[in-house]
């Protein structure tokens, strides 16, 4: 039999149900999405102008690097929560010079009021890698930032071993031991990156490849003889050097020493040119770098990245994303993507 057309009452009911239910999942867009996209553009302009990629990466890593997986609760566990902007953490010895990086981001706090410090710091790092020619990191946002200095972690490890509340140290102390108590660099890397932060050997080697950009300074880490400005610079970090991927002039502040000659270009030269770095007094190669091509478990991964930049980029992007989310509390819980 033929189906009768719906009565006006039934049609009205269906219409009301659709208006209330069919589009219920389409909530108003989060205002942070628009601000995040705008911030991304501003950061690209900032980095292209100031050549500040390395210090912005360092700021984000040192914010995330306080994370300790053995400690429960936020923000006690540390991690990517923006705490580095407060003096208790900014004043850690390992964070010397990072107030400059925070200053670069200060201008965006009022411009983008819905965004947290934790998100701004981590976005700046990801954009810095991309602007230097590295992979685009599949980031998510919505990190909640701590709001006061008393939410910062202490300067020493709070669980398991005494030192290293943050990232590993490149060289042992005067007693031949690293701050965590390890006597060798490979054990030190695994104490900090694996026991404390939860990274695998592969992720340790991939993250170490970020040394393809950046420098160390006598006035900051004290681990190299090269300091601020041209008079104290290595031959690869003078203001006249061309180190950008696009071949344009500009290095930011001259000085210090780098692991690679083109230290504003993110590529796999950290892995392919390590012998050159070891033999050149104007380049860096610390015990924590050397162990990556000597340790039996690290070496195959190191050589894989020397042979394939694509493999390095793929693994680095995943490890960077993981680092950027350590200890983070997201609102909404699944985060925001742009």
Catalytic residues: 62
Asked whether 278 and 285 are in contact (CB, 8 A), the reply is yes
Tokens of 126: 């990801």
Furthest CA-CA distance within the chain: 96
Q: Is 283 helix (H, G, I), strand (E, B) or coil?
A: strand
CA pseudo-torsion sign 24, 25, 26, 32: positive
Nearest to 152, CA basis, from 67, 56, 61, 57: 67
Residue 336: DSSP 8-state: B
The residue length of the chain stands at 338
Q: Is 7 helix (H, G, I), strand (E, B) or coil?
A: coil
Asked whether 229 and 255 are in contact (CB, 8 A), the reply is yes
Residues with Cβ within 8 Å of 314's Cβ and at least 6 positions away in sequence, in order, are: 135
Q: Which residues of 182-195 are buried (b: 16+ CB within 10 A; e: fewer)?
A: bebbbebbbbbbeb
CB-count burial class (<10 Å; 0-12, 13-18, 19+) for 30? middle
Residue with tokens 């160390």: 216
Distance CA 336, CA 23 (A): 20
Distance CA 135, CA 129 (A): 7
Q: What angle do CA 291, 294, 298 make, to 5 degrees?
A: 75
């Amino acid at each position: 039999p033929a189906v009768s057309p719906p009565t006006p009452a039934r049609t009205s009911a269906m219409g009301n149900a659709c208006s209330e239910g069919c589009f219920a999942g389409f909530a108003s867009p989060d205002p942070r999405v628009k601000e995040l996209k705008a911030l991304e553009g501003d950061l690209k302009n900032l980095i292209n102008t100031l050549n500040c990629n390395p210090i912005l990466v360092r700021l984000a890593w040192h914010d995330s690097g306080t994370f300790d997986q053995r400690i429960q609760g936020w923000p006690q566990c540390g991690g990517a929560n923006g705490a580095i902007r407060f003096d208790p953490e900014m004043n850690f010895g390992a964070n010397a010079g990072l107030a400059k990086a925070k200053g670069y981001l200060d201008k965006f706090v009022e411009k983008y009021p819905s965004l947290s410090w934790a998100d701004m710091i981590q976005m700046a790092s990801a954009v810095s890698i991309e602007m230097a020619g590295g992979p685009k990191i599949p980031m998510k946002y919505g990190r909640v930032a701590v709001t006061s200095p008393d939410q910062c972690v202490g300067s020493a490890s709070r669980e398991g071993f005494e030192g290293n509340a943050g990232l590993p140290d490149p060289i042992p102390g005067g007693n031949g031991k690293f701050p965590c108590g390890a006597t060798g660099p490979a054990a030190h890397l695994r104490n900090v990156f694996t026991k404390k932060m939860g990274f695998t050997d592969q992720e340790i080697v991939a993250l170490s490849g970020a040394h393809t950009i950046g420098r160390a300074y006598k006035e900051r880490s004290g681990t190299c003889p090269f300091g601020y400005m041209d008079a104290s610079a290595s031959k690869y970090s003078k203001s006249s050097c061309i180190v950008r991927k696009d071949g344009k002039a500009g290095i930011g502040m001259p000085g210090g020493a780098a692991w690679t000659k083109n230290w504003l270009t993110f590529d796999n030269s950290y892995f392919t040119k390590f012998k050159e770095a070891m033999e050149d007094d104007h380049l860096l190669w610390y015990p924590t770098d050397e162990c990556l091509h000597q340790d039996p478990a690290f070496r195959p991964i190191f050589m894989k990245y020397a042979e394939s930049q694509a493999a390095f980029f793929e693994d680095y992007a995943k490890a960077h994303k993981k680092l950027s989310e350590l200890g983070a509390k997201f609102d909404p819980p699944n985060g925001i993507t742009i």
